[in-house]
Amino acid sequence: MIEVLGREVEAQQIGKTLGHARHGRGGALLVVGEPGIGKTTLLRSSTTGAGEDTGPAGMRRIQVDGFEAEAQMPFAAVQRLVMPLRDYLPALPERHLRALEVASGRAAGPPPDRFLIGLGVLGLLAAAGSQRPVLCAIDDAHLFDPESLDALAFVARRLEAESVAVVFAARPDDNVDAHMAGVPRLPLGGLSLEHSVRLLARSVAEPIDPAVGAQIAVATGGNPLALTDLARELTVRQLTESSLGDQPFPVGRRLESFYVRQIRALGNEVQEWLLVAAADATGDLALISEAAAKLGLPESAADGAEEAGLVELAAQVRFRHPLVRSAAYNAAAGRIRRRVHHALSEVADSMGRADLEAWHAAKATLGTDEAVAARLEKAADRAGERGGFTSRPVSWPRRPRSPHRGRAGTGGWSRRPRQPSPQVPRSWPRTCSTTSTRTNWTTSPAGVCCPCAPSGPCSPPIPRSPGSAPTWWRRPTSSTATTTSSSRPR
């Protein structure tokens, strides 16, 4: 592992949370910072012990990362967290177990109550922690599907009597803020001047004038990714010159355009291979390689991407940084992206991955395609059956619109109006709020977000007594009775 500079105070704070958990006073912490500021590095260095699965002082370590590809798959992250804890499933009360099984698609049934899912996850962690203290390192939480974020935030607020610590890392994000209310935050800023200069000096090929180093450190705000990548990209002379000029340094989101330039300097085949890998985002090398071959790209294109230091090739393709992935995608023209999505949808189809196929097919479609729309609709229904009513409107409203349905010229996407039915969520997602992708979800006259009302601003749901809720929204009596202030799973 690289030598981590600075971060003593932050590491201490994480260490304190872990120490408390080892003594049965669990808790959570949310590390928040801009891209490249060092969240992953801090999380890794302060929560890893002798091995990947071991935390400091022999704690059991479980890592769950957010992935863009799963950001709209309901409970995808919960499912990944539950996997390593599956030995404890039999210890759960029947209804918690059932809720987790339905949420993860392992059993059929009515959409589970989120409260029961939260209790199920808490129960698993508590059971594991009673044998050996547990530490969950959760990176890129801003890429979690909203259902999982909700469930984990629920758990994070109820750990005080458990031997469990959860450390989250996320970019500044309204959605994360809304879900994580009540979870202590640890804002992560840039490195100190001294550490920035040291990082820069250690990353450049030749010695750099300390005064120039200091200027660059200030200009980048001590963002380690900006510092290391600037050093890698530019000669000392260039660095010296740019420190004296007016050009803004590529920091935070601006780093993306920096990578776009870097990617555009590569050969066409390597660029296109990077686009395939970025467009898929499951990172599945088999899928990506097959789609690349379909597009006529040689195997050497993947090697070229790795040699450029932009990806690591293993069973799972890993981009050097999430910003490199978005740059690879954004560097390409829409026409080429659609061709790539088309190839990916064909390969996903041949692998029997229906939801992925539908998603790529939709991305490959410009204008109207009823067949794709029908497959999207089915995928949405599958998500709904697992209780994914928050992700569902985000992931599946972009139905290719037929000309006679709705207005033209609005991007060609619409959502088929649905009548309120028993399938509508029982516990309403808090994230059903204003975002451009959710404009078809609005506040009904009854004060509840509903999918069938016409487009318009979408407000957070208004809490109401079960008696006043419309019948399709009301929770069954059995689940209204489950509300408790106890932190213990029941």
Ligand X SMILES: Nc1ncnc2c1ncn2[C@@H]1O[C@H](COP(=O)(O)OP(=O)(O)O)[C@@H](O)[C@H]1O
What residues make contact with Mg ion under the rule CB under 5 A? 39-40
Q: Does 40 bind ligand X (CB under 6 A)?
A: yes
How near is the Cβ of 165 to Mg ion at its closest, in Å? 19
Q: Which of 38, 45, 48, 47 is nearest to 17 (CA)?
A: 47
Cβ-based neighbour number of residue 470 at 10 Å = 14
Q: Which residue's CB is nearer to ligand X, number 218 or number 351? A: 218
Q: Which residue's CB is nearer to Mg ion, number 39 or number 195? A: 39
Q: Which residue has the tokens 């995808």?
A: 76
Q: Does 5 bind ligand X (CB under 6 A)?
A: yes
- DSSP element (H, E) containing 306: helix 300-307
Q: Does 321 bind ligand X (CB under 6 A)?
A: yes
| Alpha-carbon distances, residue 155 vs 78, 94, 119, 183, 203 (angstroms) | 11, 19, 7, 10, 40
Pick from 199, 263, 279, 348 the residue near ligand X by CB under 6 A.
199
**Paired residues of 61 in beta bridges:** 135
Q: Does 198 bind ligand X (CB under 6 A)?
A: no
Between residue 211 and residue 230, which ones bind ligand X under the rule CB under 6 A? 224-225, 228
Cβ-based neighbour number of residue 94 at 10 Å = 7
Q: Is the dihedral of CA 307, 284, 76, 52 positive or negative?
A: negative
Q: Which of 401, 418, 420, 419 is nearest to 410 (CA)?
A: 401
Pick from 17, 18, 26, 33 the residue near ligand X by CB under 6 A.
33
How near is the Cβ of 77 to ligand X at its closest, in Å? 17
How near is the Cβ of 228 to ligand X at its closest, in Å? 5
3-state DSSP percent of the chain in helix, strand and coil, to 5: 50, 10, 40
Tell me the residue nearest to ligand X as measured from the CB: 38
Pick from 26, 36, 84, 429 the residue near ligand X by CB under 6 A.
36
- Identify whether the C-beta of residue 286 lies closer than 8 Å to the C-beta of residue 313: no
Q: Which residue's CB is nearer to ligand X, number 226 or number 295? A: 226
How near is the Cβ of 224 to Mg ion at its closest, in Å? 11
Q: Does 133 bind ligand X (CB under 6 A)?
A: no
- The Cα 411–Cα 427 span in angstroms is 31
Amino acid at 91: A
Q: Does 66 bind ligand X (CB under 6 A)?
A: no
Among Mg ion, ligand X, none, the one that 77 touches (CB under a kind-dependent 5 to 8 A) is none
Which stretches of the chain bind ligand X, using CB under 6 A?
2, 4-7, 33, 35-41, 191, 199, 224-225, 228, 321
